[in-house]
C-alpha cells in the first residue's frame, strides 16, 4: 500500500519529512545530541526537587529516560505514524509518575542512600555542564556534515541548472511563412519541460513542446533524454510525408521512453510541422489544447486530441492532423504549469484567462507576449510546476 493510500492515522507527519529523508548513518549524530541535551532534565530534577540528595545511579537513570524520551519524540515525529504520535503524547501524562516510581524502586531495590546536599549539587551542576558541552559538540558535527551535504547538492543542482540552460534555452526561429518562439521557466533549478524548434533540410520547421511528469532533477534528466531522442528521430524527417512526420515521431518516442525511465514517469507532447509552403500539421499526446488566434475574425479557438501520453502505455499508433492557419494567425501552447496555477480561493488560472491575455496582446512581438502570459500567471498564483510556452505566428 502506498503511503498516500494509508489511513490518515497511519501516515507519518509531513512537517518533519526532512528528517525522514536523512539516512540513519547521519541522523545518529543528531539523536545523540538531542539525548545529551534533554538528559539535563534528570540533573535539573535532582537540583530543584531534592536539593541534590538523589543517589547518583538514580539521577543517571532519570537523565537517560529523559534523553531517550526526547529521541523517541524526534523519531516518531519524523518516521512513524500519527497513531504512534498520539500514543507518545498519552505517555507524557504519566511520564513524571513513571520516573518517580522507577526512582523509588531502584532506591529500595539496591538500598541506595541519599547523597549529601553539597556533594549532590556539585555533581548535578557538573553533569549538566558536561552534557550541554558534549551535546553542543554533536550538534555542531551534525550541522557541519549536513552543511557539507547541502553544499554538495547545491553544486550539483547548479551544474544541472547550467546543463538545462544549454538544453532548453529560449527558442527563436524564423522561416519565410512562420515565426517561432518558446521559453521555459522551471519551478526549481531543474525542470522537466522542454521547448525546441529546428529546421529540416527541405526548409520545413519542426517546433514542439514536451512536459515530463513531475519536476526537479529526475524530470530534468528524462527531459534531456527526450530532446536527444527527438532530434535523432527527426534526422530523416525531411524525407517523410509531412502528415506522417509527427505520428512516426510519437510512435518512436513511446517505444523508447519506457526503457529509460521509471514506471510512473511519462511525457505529454505537442508538435508542429510548419511547411515551407505555409502548411501546418500537428500531433498531440495528452497535452493541453492548441489555442489559435484567428487574425481575420479576431476570434480564438481551441484544438485538442485525447491521445495517450508518451512512455506510459503500449499504444499502437498516434495520429496527426492538418491545421488550417491563415496569415496573421497565432498558435499558442502552454503547459499545465501555467494553466493549473491556483489563487488563494483555489481557482485555476485556466484556458479562459490565458485566452484573454492572448486576445489583448495578439499583435505583440512573440517574446513580449510570452512574458505577459508568464507575468499574468505569476500574478494570479504561486508557481508550483514548470511553466513553458510555445508560440507560432503565421507570417
Average pLDDT estimate for 333-362 = 94
Cell triple for 130? 558536561
Tell me the pLDDT of the chain averaged across its residues: 87
Strands 299-303 and 267-274: unpaired
| pLDDT score at 394 | 95
The alpha helices in 234-302, defined as continuous H runs, are 242-256
| pLDDT tier, 78 (very low <50, low <70, confident <90, very high otherwise) | confident
**Among 177, 174, 209, which residue's Cα sits nearest to residue 193?**
209
Q: pLDDT tens, 172-216? A: 999 989 999 999 988 765 667 899 999 998 889 999 999 988 666
Cell triple for 94? 504519566
Provide the whole-model pTM: 0.69
CATH architecture of the region 168-394: 4-Layer Sandwich (3.60)
**Among 31, 40, 39, 139, which residue's Cα sits nearest to residue 78?**
31
Strands 280-285 and 267-274: antiparallel
Sketch the domain layout of the chain as residue ranges. 3-160, 168-394
* DSSP E strand boundaries for the chain: 171-174, 178-185, 193-199, 205-212, 267-274, 280-285, 290-294, 299-303, 321-322, 330-334, 387-394
Q: pLDDT tens, 229-240? A: 899 888 887 677
pLDDT surpassing 60 at residue 136? yes
Cell triple for 309? 501520453
Query: Locate cell 520545413: which residue?
Result: 204
| pLDDT tier, 222 (very low <50, low <70, confident <90, very high otherwise) | confident
What is the rounded distance in angstroms from the CA atom of residue 323 to the CA atom of residue 321? 6
Q: pLDDT tens, 94-123? A: 888 888 888 888 888 888 888 899 999 999
Q: Say which DSSP state 262 is in.
A: -
Cell triple for 71? 529521541
Average pLDDT estimate for 262-273 = 90
Cell triple for 391? 508560440
Share of the chain above pLDDT 70, in %: 91
Whether 20 and 81 have beta carbons less than 8 Å apart is answered as: no
Cell triple for 270? 505537442
Average pLDDT estimate for 320-326 = 93
| Chain centroid offset of residue 326 CA | 41
| pLDDT tier, 1 (very low <50, low <70, confident <90, very high otherwise) | very low
| Chain centroid offset of residue 271 CA | 26
Amino acid at each position: 500500500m502506498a503511503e498516500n493510500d494509508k489511513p490518515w492515522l497511519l501516515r507519518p507527519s509531513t512537517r518533519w519529512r526532512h528528517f525522514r529523508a536523512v539516512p540513519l548513518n547521519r541522523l545518529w549524530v543528531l539523536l545523540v545530541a538531542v539525548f545529551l541535551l534533554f538528559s539535563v532534565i534528570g540533573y535539573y530534577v535532582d537540583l530543584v526537587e531534592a536539593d541534590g540528595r538523589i543517589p547518583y545511579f538514580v539521577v543517571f537513570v532519570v537523565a537517560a529516560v529523559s534523553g531517550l524520551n526526547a529521541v523517541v519524540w524526534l523519531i516518531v515525529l519524523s518516521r512513524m505514524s500519527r497513531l504512534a504520535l498520539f500514543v507518545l503524547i498519552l505517555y507524557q501524562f504519566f511520564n513524571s509518575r513513571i520516573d518517580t516510581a522507577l526512582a523509588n524502586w531502584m532506591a529500595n531495590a539496591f538500598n541506595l542512600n541519599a547523597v549529601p546536599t553539597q556533594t549532590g549539587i556539585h555533581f548535578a551542576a557538573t553533569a549538566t555542564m558536561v552534557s550541554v558541552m558534549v551535546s553542543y559538540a554533536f550538534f555542531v558535527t551534525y550541522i557541519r556534515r549536513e552543511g557539507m551535504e547541502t553544499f554538495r547538492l547545491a553544486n550539483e543542482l547548479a551544474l544541472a541548472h547550467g546543463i538545462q540552460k544549454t538544453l532548453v534555452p529560449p527558442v527563436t526561429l524564423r522561416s519565410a511563412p512562420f515565426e517561432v518562439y518558446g521559453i521555459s521557466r522551471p519551478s526549481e533549478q531543474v525542470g522537466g519541460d522542454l521547448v525546441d524548434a529546428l529546421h529540416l533540410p527541405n526548409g520545413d520547421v519542426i517546433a514542439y513542446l514536451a512536459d515530463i511528469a513531475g519536476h526537479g532533477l529526475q524530470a530534468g534528466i528524462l527531459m534531456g533524454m527526450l530532446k536527444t531522442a527527438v532530434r535523432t528521430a527527426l534526422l530523416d524527417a525531411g524525407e517523410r510525408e509531412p502528415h506522417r512526420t509527427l505520428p512516426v515521431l510519437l510512435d518512436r518516442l513511446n517505444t523508447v521512453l519506457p526503457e529509460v525511465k521509471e514506471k510512473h514517469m511519462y511525457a505529454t507532447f505537442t508538435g508542429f510541422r510548419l511547411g515551407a509552403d505555409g502548411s501546418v500539421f500537428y500531433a498531440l499526446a495528452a497535452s493541453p489544447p492548441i489555442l489559435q488566434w484567428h487574425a481575420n475574425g479576431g476570434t480564438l479557438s481551441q484544438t485538442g486530441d485525447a491521445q495517450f501520453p508518451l512512455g506510459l502505455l503500449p499504444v499502437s499508433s498516434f495520429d496527426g492532423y492538418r491545421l488550417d492557419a491563415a496569415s496573421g494567425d497565432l498558435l499558442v501552447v502552454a503547459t499545465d504549469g501555467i494553466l493549473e496555477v491556483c489563487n488563494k480561493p483555489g481557482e485555476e488560472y485556466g484556458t479562459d484567462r490565458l485566452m484573454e491575455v492572448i486576445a489583448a496582446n495578439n499583435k505583440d512581438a512573440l517574446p513580449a507576449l510570452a512574458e505577459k502570459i508568464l507575468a499574468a500567471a505569476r500574478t494570479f498564483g504561486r508557481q508550483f510546476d514548470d511553466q513553458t510556452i510555445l508560440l507560432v505566428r503565421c507570417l
